[in-house]
Structure 1
Amino acid sequence: MSDDERFDYMNPDVAAGLPHFEVPLVRATPESFAGYGTIVSDHTTHQVPITKWPHNGWRPVDPGTGDEGGYLQGDFDFWWEGEVLLGQNLAVQDKYILGWSVNPEDARWDAEEPDRSKLLIWHANHHPDGGQLFYPMDNQPFIAALAKTDDDMKPEDWVAFYCDGSFGICIDAGIWHEAIVPLVPKARFFDKQGAVHARVSADFPKEFGVLLSVPLDLKKMQEG
């Protein structure tokens, strides 16, 4: 992707008939979430980490500088329309098709009784400039799929975390993520992230020839 190109998040270019790569589903606890970020009980006081500005020369960045860009924060809404999951991040003024509960070529926006036992996602990203906080404003359960590898991330690096709605999560800088998936038709989250908002993206269909399948059926959850 060139510097002049941007992902068209509301019109993803996804080939038909792609296989699904299912990721494991685990319960989010302080122990299982270690290495991805932190469990957050109070979004009003939690400090979201900001990455110090990098410098390639031999002189160091002065203490107390390089991490003063501040934050963006606001509502992050997620909602289902039939078999399509959408998101709108008001903190950065972006709107997305995040995924589908069936193959995208078959997905119906007006499905009356959709099967939402999984979410098929086509895209993921990470933010090198800082962490990102997601806190459920309505205390509803949700699932977050994450990977803690570098730019050589692969589908098998992913884990989906079930969160029961009594807490939020703050993922570390560099943690791959995509949709926060509500287990209700719509949900609102408090979002806080670095104002630089650097975004490094991956396209699963084009890079790996698959859609990443995030289980939403809690019967598939692995304990321990």
Structure 2
Amino acid sequence: MLALGRLRRCISAVHASLARFRGFCSASQVKILDVRVQKVTAENIEPYGTLFEDFDGEAVRLEQWPQPGRRPVIDGVSGGVTEGDFSLEWNNGTHIAENTAVQDGVYSFAWDGGDEALQAAGWGISSPCKSSCPSAYMFTEINYHACGSQLFYSKHEPFVLMVAKPSEDRFPDEVFPEDFLAFYCPEGSGVNVNAFVWHSPPVSPLFNRKIVMKTKQAAVHSKIYYDPLKEHSTLLRVALREPIY
């Protein structure tokens, strides 16, 4: 009976491991994970932030600076808020974003093909599988802010936002590729991403023109980064078409 119990535990562990990698397309050195995309609603975004329509009326939720010892932090939120434009544009297969609210806010963080993403990362191999629809392949500029929430709002065009939040029994830094999902956000909507929620910059589903959005965040801001390619040999692939559900 003892041996049978051990066998059952081993089988359960194998099933759990297989579940973690369900949805992956793999080669010898790299995997592609198709991130689930759904239309944003106030209900499904709730674990990650809030949905809003009034950019000027939506506030950044600043977080109190941590108290490192016994002496209290008297004021850890008066760094204030910064806001600006957040532009998105595809240029020769590379997705480029510019955030004017912060210094050095220009990011190249998504590619329209796996081969191109791996080349940008310096990996000398080909992508193991192709996509049947326009997609963004991502591995860099994925981060969370401990200082407060961040707002993304687009008045005239849709955008796609990828987020992740580890389960309650894990620390925020203990994130895995399969934790991520993406939201298709229609024009006129915005998302206020909570502090400690992993997210990429927004991605444009429009390949033929530039999108200019609005953003707000803590002026004194912190960023913690995650690179699924370095840590888990995985590219995250996000379909850039409006989901039907």
TM-score, L = length of structure 2:
0.75
In structure 1, how many angstroms separate the alpha carbons of the residues matched to 2:163 and 2:118? 24
1:145-160 superposed matches below 5 A: 145-149=162-166, 150-160=172-182
User: How high is the sequence identity, in percent, across the aligned residues?
Assistant: 33
Equivalent of 1:162, from 161, 165, 184?
Answer: 184
In structure 1, how many angstroms separate the alpha carbons of the residues matched to 2:235 and 2:204? 19
Q: State the SS of the aligned residue for 2:187.
A: coil
Q: State the SS of the aligned residue for 2:68.
A: coil
Equivalence for 1:189: 213
Question: Computing the radius of gyration over CA atoms, which structure comes out larger, 1 or 2?
Answer: 2
1:103-182 superposed matches below 5 A: 103-105=114-116, 117-123=134-140, 124-137=142-155, 139-149=156-166, 150-182=172-204
Do the aligned residues in 1 keep the contact of 2:133 with 2:239 (CA within 8 Å)?
Answer: no
In structure 2, how many angstroms separate the alpha carbons of the residues matched to 1:77 and 1:217? 19
Structure with the higher fraction of residues in strand conformation: 1
CA distance 1:96–1:57, shift in 2 (3 Å): same
Do the aligned residues in 2 keep the contact of 1:145 with 1:158 (CA within 8 Å)?
Answer: yes
Q: Which amino acid aligns with 1:69?
A: G
Indicate the RMSD between aligned Cα atoms, in angstroms.
2.2
Q: Which runs of 5+ in 1 are unaligned?
A: 1-16, 109-114
Equivalence for 2:85: 75
Q: Which runs of 4+ in 1 moved over 6 A?
A: none
Shift of 1:98: 1.4
Shift of 1:58: 3.6
Q: State the SS of the aligned residue for 2:201.
A: strand
Q: State the SS of the aligned residue for 2:106.
A: strand
CA distance 1:20–1:71, shift in 2 (3 Å): same
Q: State the SS of the aligned residue for 2:226.
A: strand
Shift of 1:35: 1.4
CA deviation string 1:13-48 (max 9, x = no partner): xxxx73311111111101001111111110011111
Structure with the higher fraction of residues in helix conformation: 2
TM-score, L = length of structure 1:
0.81
Q: Which runs of 5+ in 2 are unaligned?
A: 1-28, 120-131, 167-171
Do the aligned residues in 2 keep the contact of 1:83 with 1:107 (CA within 8 Å)?
Answer: no
In structure 2, how many angstroms separate the alpha carbons of the residues matched to 1:194 and 1:106? 30
Shift of 1:176: 0.6
Do the aligned residues in 2 keep the contact of 1:40 with 1:170 (CA within 8 Å)?
Answer: yes
1:11-22 superposed matches below 5 A: 18-22=30-34
